[in-house]
Amino acid sequence: MKYTYAVKGLDCPHCSFEIENDLKKVNGISNAAVNLVTQTLTLETELTSDKLLSIVTKAVHNHEPDVEVSSLENIINTSVSFGNSGEGHTHRGDNCADCRSCQGRYAHCEECPKSETITPEHKNKSSFLKKINSDRVMKARLIIGAAIYAVGFALTFTSTSQYITLPIIITAYIILGVDVISKAFRGIVKGRVFDESFLMTLSTAGAFAIGEYPEAAAVMLFYQLGEYIQSLAVKKSRRSISELMDIRPDSANVKRYGNVVTVSPDDVTVGEHIIVKPGEKIPLDGIISEGSSMINTTALTGESVPRSVSSGDEVLSGCINESGVLDIRVTKTYGQSTAAKILDMVENAAARKAPTENFITTFSRYYTPIVVISALLLGVIPPLFFGGNWGDWLHRCFVFLVISCPCALVISIPLSFFGGIGAASRKGILVKGSNYLEALNYTDTFVFDKTGTLTKGVFKVVNITPAKGINKNKLLETAAKAECMSNHPIAKSVVSEYGKGIDKSVIKNYKEISGHGISANVNDKAILCGNSALMDKEKISYSANSDIGTVIYIAEDSKFLGSITIADEIKSDSRKAIEELRNAGISKTVMLTGDNKEIAERISEEIGIDECYSELLPQDKADMLEKLKQDLADDKKLAFVGDGINDAPVLAAADVGIAMGALGSDAAIEAADIVLMTDEPSKLYQAIGIAKYTKKIVTQNIIAVIAVKILFLILGAFGIAGMWEAVFGDVGIMIIAVLNSMRILRRK
Q: From the candidates 135, 195, 285, 449, give the one annotated as an active-site residue.
A: 449
Q: What separation in angstroms does the CA of 425 have from each of 240, 432, 468, 686?
A: 8, 10, 57, 11
What are the b/e assignments for 489-521, b being 16+ CB within 10 Å?
A: ebbebbbebbeeebeeeebeebeebeebbbbbe
449 belongs to the catalytic site = yes
* ∠ CA 666-668-669, rounded to 5°: 65
Q: How many whole angstroms separate alpha carbon 552 and alpha carbon 87?
A: 60
Q: How many whole angstroms separate alpha carbon 40 and alpha carbon 70?
A: 9
Amino acid at 687: A
Kindly state the DSSP code that residue 278 receives in the 8-state scheme.
T
Q: How many whole angstroms separate alpha carbon 521 and alpha carbon 403?
A: 85
Closest to 197 in 3D by CA, of 402, 375, 3, 357: 402
Amino acid at 659: A
Helices (H), 104-126: none
Q: How many whole angstroms separate alpha carbon 445 and alpha carbon 586?
A: 6
- β-pair type (455-466, 559-570): antiparallel
Rg (CA), the chain: 32
Contacts of 689 (CB under 8 A, 6+ apart): 584
Provide the residue count of the chain.
748
- Chain centre to alpha carbon of residue 739: 22
In the chain the first and final C-alpha atoms are separated, in Å, by 41
Q: How many whole angstroms separate alpha carbon 488 and alpha carbon 234?
A: 49
Asked if 220 contacts 173 with a C-beta cutoff of 8 angstroms, the reply is yes
Contacts of 287 (CB under 8 A, 6+ apart): 312, 313, 314, 315, 328, 329, 331
Q: In what order do the strands lie in the sheet with 507-513?
A: 455-466, 559-570, 550-556, 525-530, 517-522, 507-513
Q: How many whole angstroms separate alpha carbon 152 and alpha carbon 147?
A: 9
- β-pair type (674-676, 507-513): unpaired
- Chain centre to alpha carbon of residue 570: 29
Looking from the CA of 744 toward its CB, the CA atoms found within 13 Å total 38
Name the residues annotated as catalytic: 449
